Amino acid sequence: MTAALEIKGLAKTFGDKTAVDHVDLTVPQGSFYGLVGQNGAGKTTTLSMAVGLLRPDSGAAWIFGSDVWSDPGKAKQLVGVLPDGLAMPERLTGREVLTYLGLLRGLSKEVVAERVEELLSVLELDSAEKTLVIEYSTGMRKKIALATALLHAPKLLVLDEPFEAVDPVSAATIKTILRGFVAGGGSIVLSSHVMALVEQLCDHVGVIDKGRVAAAGRLDEVRGTATLEDRFVELVGSGTTATKGLSWL
């Protein structure tokens, strides 16, 4: 079966810093894939290159077999993306952003109106009908970004830190939506540095450290008998961080 997302040899160097060093990853169809790593490990850079937002120095990525860089039209239709910290059309309301994007995706006006209504109500954004996106809180921004990723019924979701700064109630809503998406046959890649969250949601995991894949595969295989957190520290940590204390406290 074709992988939902296949990454081969992606590499990116900024100046003399190698951000991503020949990463290979395979996200099988129907899997819920967690990408974990420290800050600056290269998660965001890898995901940006995998969906066509950052040009890699070398390597390639395929979404359901379509090359992201040579056949972007097809590949980008199949994927919904939630990038971390990028702007939206800030002077539009949530409903306007989704309507705009739906039409941009080539959906008909009626379909757009229907889906927008449902998304706004499920994500509880319909109470902020007159609020412009620039006035949204961080949690609301994550939710509207998730809505834009889901709008065109993609088969793969690529989510960069979708739970950061989201309140517990909204997080529960988002988790339900994501689980439903996978149960319906969709595939998800999400990055996070919250191990418990990845353990709770994902069935596959990839550990990125200093721009390389330190471990990847089924969750059970990667963590073995330990918890994911212990395994992660073992894989990427220098081993001494836990014993360091602060001298004045």
Partner 1 sequence: MAVAVTMARMKLAILRHSLKGDKGTMMASGGTLGLVLAAGTIYLAFLEGDWLAAALAVWMLGWIIGPVFSGGGDETLRPEFFSLMGLPPWRLAAALLVSAFVGVAPVVGLIALAGLVVAATSPVNALVAVPAMVLQLAVFVLLSKVAVALLGIALRSRAGAIGAGLLNGVVLAFLGQAWVFAVAFGQGAQIPEFVRYLPSGWGLLAVQGDYLGLAAMVVLIALLLAAWAGLLTRRAGANRPSTRGRRPMRARNGREAVVAKELRTWSRDLVRNHQLTFALAYGVFFASAPLVLGWTDMLPWAAPIFIVMAAAMTSNLYGTDGTSLWLALMTPGSSDVRGRQLAWLVTVGPVAVLVAVACTLITGGPWAVILTATAALLGGGAGLVPLISVYALVPSTDPQKRGGNPLRTSEEDGALTGLAYLAMVLVALTGAPAIAVATLYGWWGVAAGLATGALCYWGLGLLADRRLTARGPELLHLMRTGRRPESPKPSAFKLPDMPAAHRTIVMICWVLGAIPLFPQGVVAAIMVSNGQLRHSWFLATYMEPGLRWPVALGFVLLGLTMYGTGLWLPHRAKKKAAAG
Residues binding partner 1 (CB under 8 A): 14-15, 51-55, 72-73, 76, 79, 81, 83, 85-93, 95-96, 99-101, 103-106, 109, 129-130, 132-135, 141, 148
**Residue with smaller CB distance to partner 1, 152 or 204:** 152
Closest listed residue to residue 80, CA positions, set 170, 1, 148: 148
Q: How far is the CB of 163 from partner 1 (least distance, A)?
A: 19
Query: Using H for helix, E for strand and C for coil, what is the string for 19-74?
Result: EEEEEEEEECCCCEEEEECCCCCCHHHHHHHHHCCCCCCEEEEEECCEECCCCHHH
> 28 vs 139, which CB is nearer to partner 1?
139
Residue nearer to partner 1 on the CB measure, 79 or 215: 79
Cβ neighbourhood burial of 87 (10 Å; 0-12, 13-18, 19+):
exposed
Q: What gap in Å lies between CA 246 and CA 57, rounded to an integer?
A: 41
**What sign does the dihedral 50-55-57-59 (CA atoms) show?**
positive
Minimal distance in Å, beta carbon 109 to partner 1? 5
Measured from the CB atom, the residue of 105 and 212 that comes closer to partner 1 is: 105
Q: Cβ 228 to partner 1, closest distance in Å? A: 30
Quote the least distance from Cβ 99 to partner 1, whole Å: 5
